[in-house]
Amino acid sequence: MGLPPSGEIVARPMVPRACGHLCEFQHYAVDKYRAQRLAKFQKTRCPECVAKMQEAQRQAAVPRGEAFRLLPAGAVITVALGTDGKWVGKLTASGRSVEADGEGPQGVCLTLARLWLGGTEKPKAAGSK
C-alpha cells in the first residue's frame, strides 16, 4: 500500500478489532486505500491485547538450554521426516508423552521439551516462532 494517508481526518468511527475491543479508526478526506486499511485494522488486535499476549508468551517461554536440562533422566525423543516434508516428533518421559510437528528437527525437539514441561497438548505447528 505505501505510506499512510495524511491530511484532514473527516471521521473517527469505533470499529471492532480481532480481539473484540472497539478502537478508533480514522477516515481521511482523501484515502484511496481506506477499504484495505479498514480490513487490516479489523484483522489485528488492539495494542493492549497485543501487549498482554506478548507478556504471557514471554513468561511461558522456557529458554532452550533450560528446557532440555529440566527433562528427567531417561526421556526419549523420536523425530522423523514425514512424506510432506514436515518433521514430526514424540517425547516420552515419566509415563507421559507429547507430540509435535514443525519445519526442522531442532525446533521440533525444543517444542516437545517445552510442551512436556508445560503439560500442554499438541500445537498446530511447532518450530515456528
pLDDT one-digit tens code per residue, 62-93? 787 888 999 999 999 999 999 888 999 999 99
pLDDT one-digit tens code per residue, 91-124? 999 999 999 998 899 989 988 998 898 864 444 3
Determine the CATH number of domain 63-118.
Answer: 3.30.160
C-alpha cell at 59: 513468561
pTM here? 0.50
Alpha helices in the chain (DSSP H): 34-43, 47-60, 64-69, 105-118
118-to-23, 29, 76, 102 alpha-carbon distances in Å: 34, 51, 17, 18
The three-state secondary structure class of 94 is coil
Region for 127 from its dihedrals, namely left if φ exceeds 0, alpha if ψ lies in -120 to 50, beta otherwise: left
CB of 117 within 8 A of CB of 67?
yes
What are the extents of the domains in the chain? Answer: 9-59, 63-118
- Give percent of the chain with pLDDT exceeding 90: 61
